[in-house]
């Protein structure tokens, strides 16, 4: 199973490199269901994998001139504060057993995975739906309250489930700021890198027992897949694959919710 987990890390990275986002949503399911990592620790590992991968992608977008640093920093500040506070205080504060019902215990681990399944459903919708052409739209004045609120929401979600949240950040940058889609994607990667790695530092500070050998090997596999996926974009239609991957994420989200609730009873 361990070899399968590393192979799936390559697949996850390949998807991320090919589609420019979305692949990291598979990190926690791979860690939990294939490699047997407990959910809270899996979300911590995911923060490192997602953040490290976003650094590579963000650097590539910066060289292409597709990162709006001012916008990214304004969005990132409330987001990283939220993710850090979530990892340091909210996650440890969740009781190990939330409630019991007819012999079924709804535990902290189950709650995190169910919430993760819901996030996957939202992410799948973002991947499946058709995007309008935003390349010619005009940039809008900063809507600071909405951007701050979106940053806080994304930060809490990232802190709870370890997902990058690009499926929330990119639409926010397009709709609230008026960025063209390519610049929104590039700026999103910078935001994801900052908040994910800061959140992971919060886990180190809270005393999480990190298996660095395992984590670095898993991350290296995802990097390898990402570079292969980036190369494959020259030959494959990313838009069609993104929709197909969105349907796969939808199915995975439903499976996670059912397996942690209905099938577990």
**pLDDT tens-digit map of 148-177:** 888 888 888 888 887 767 777 877 787 777
- Alpha-carbon distances of 58 from 25, 51, 136, 192, 229, rounded to whole Å: 18, 10, 23, 9, 16
| Strands (DSSP E) found in the chain | 97-101, 104-107
| Spans in the chain with pLDDT lower than 50 | none
Phi, psi of 145 (to 5 degrees): -60, -45
Question: Which residues does 141 contact at the CB level (< 8 Å), separation at least 6?
Answer: none
- Helix (H) or strand (E) run with residue 182 in it: helix 181-205
Phi, psi of 60 (to 5 degrees): -65, -45
Asked if residue 265 belongs to a domain, the reply is no
Question: Hey, what are 9's tokens?
Answer: 């890390």
If one counts the domains in the chain, the total is: 1
* CA angle (101, 104, 107) in 5-degree steps: 100
| Tens digits of residue pLDDT in 188-197 | 888 888 888 8
What does the pLDDT read at residue 200?
86
**Domain residues for 184?**
2-260
Asked if residue 51 belongs to a domain, the reply is yes
Asked if residue 166 belongs to a domain, the reply is yes
Asked if residue 99 belongs to a domain, the reply is yes
- Helix (H) or strand (E) run with residue 28 in it: helix 27-29
In this prediction the pTM is: 0.78
């Amino acid at each position: 199973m361990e070899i399968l987990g590393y192979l799936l890390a390559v697949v996850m990275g390949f998807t991320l490199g090919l589609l420019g986002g979305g692949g990291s949503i598979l990190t926690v399911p791979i860690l939990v269901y294939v490699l047997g990592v407990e959910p809270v620790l899996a979300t911590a590992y995911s923060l490192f994998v997602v953040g490290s991968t976003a650094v590579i992608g963000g650097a590539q977008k910066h060289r292409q001139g597709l990162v709006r640093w001012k916008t990214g920093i304004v969005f990132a500040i409330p987001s990283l504060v939220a993710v850090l506070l979530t990892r340091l205080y909210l996650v440890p504060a969740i009781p190990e057993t939330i409630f019991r019902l007819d012999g079924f215990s709804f535990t902290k681990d189950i709650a995190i995975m169910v919430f993760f399944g819901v996030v996957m459903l939202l992410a799948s919708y973002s991947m499946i739906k058709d995007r309008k052409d935003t390349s010619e739209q005009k940039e809008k004045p900063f809507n600071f309250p909405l951007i701050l609120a979106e940053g806080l929401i994304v930060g809490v979600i990232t802190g709870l489930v370890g997902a990058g949240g690009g499926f929330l950040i990119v639409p926010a940058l397009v709709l609230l700021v008026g960025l063209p889609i390519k610049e929104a994607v590039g700026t999103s990667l910078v935001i994801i890198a900052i908040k994910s790695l800061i959140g992971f530092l919060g886990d180190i500070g809270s005393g999480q027992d990190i298996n660095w050998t395992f984590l670095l090997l898993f991350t290296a596999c995802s990097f390898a897949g990402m570079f292969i996926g980036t190369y494959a974009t020259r030959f494959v239609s990313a838009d069609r694959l993104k929709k197909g991957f969105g349907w796969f994420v939808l199915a995975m989200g439903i499976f996670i919710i059912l397996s942690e609730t209905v099938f577990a009873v």
